[in-house]
Amino acid sequence: MSKTAYIFPGQGSQTVGMGKDLFDNFAAAREVFEAADDALGFSLSDMCFAGDEADLQLTANTQPAILTASVAAYLRLVPKECLRNGCRGP
């Protein structure tokens, strides 16, 4: 039996513009960024897509930004139906 592992980036990999292509092209990614915006009480999306690099590098912003972009990318690969029903990813 083969298994698939997903590896996500950590702090230090953040960059302004990250996740924008996913947000623009995939509904699931938009939902992830919108949920993060709502949960945080500010537009993490704006910070990720066109914000100030110095603000994005603050740990309080970096951690949710990287997590949000990673979840958006993961959901691009593994549909929500698979998460609910246990089907395998790509």
Structural domain contains residue 4:
no
Structural domain contains residue 1:
no
Structural domain contains residue 3:
no
**63-78 pLDDT per residue, tens:** 999 999 999 999 888 8
Rounded distance, CA 10 to CA 66, Å? 7
Do residues 42 and 85 lie in contact, with contact meaning Cβ atoms separated by under 8 Å?
no
Domain count, the chain: 1
Q: How is residue 20 written in tokens?
A: 């924008």
**Domain span at residue 44?**
20-82
Which pLDDT score is estimated for 84?
64
Structural domain contains residue 40:
yes
Rounded distance, CA 70 to CA 55, Å? 19
CA-based nearest residue to 68, from 4, 24, 25, 14 = 14
What pTM was computed for the model? Answer: 0.85
Provide the residue-wise pLDDT of the chain in tens; the chain has 90 residues: 577 788 899 999 999 999 999 999 999 999 999 999 999 999 999 999 999 999 999 999 999 999 999 999 998 888 666 766 666 555
Which pLDDT score is estimated for 83?
66
Rounded distance, CA 75 to CA 71, Å? 6
Structural domain contains residue 49:
yes
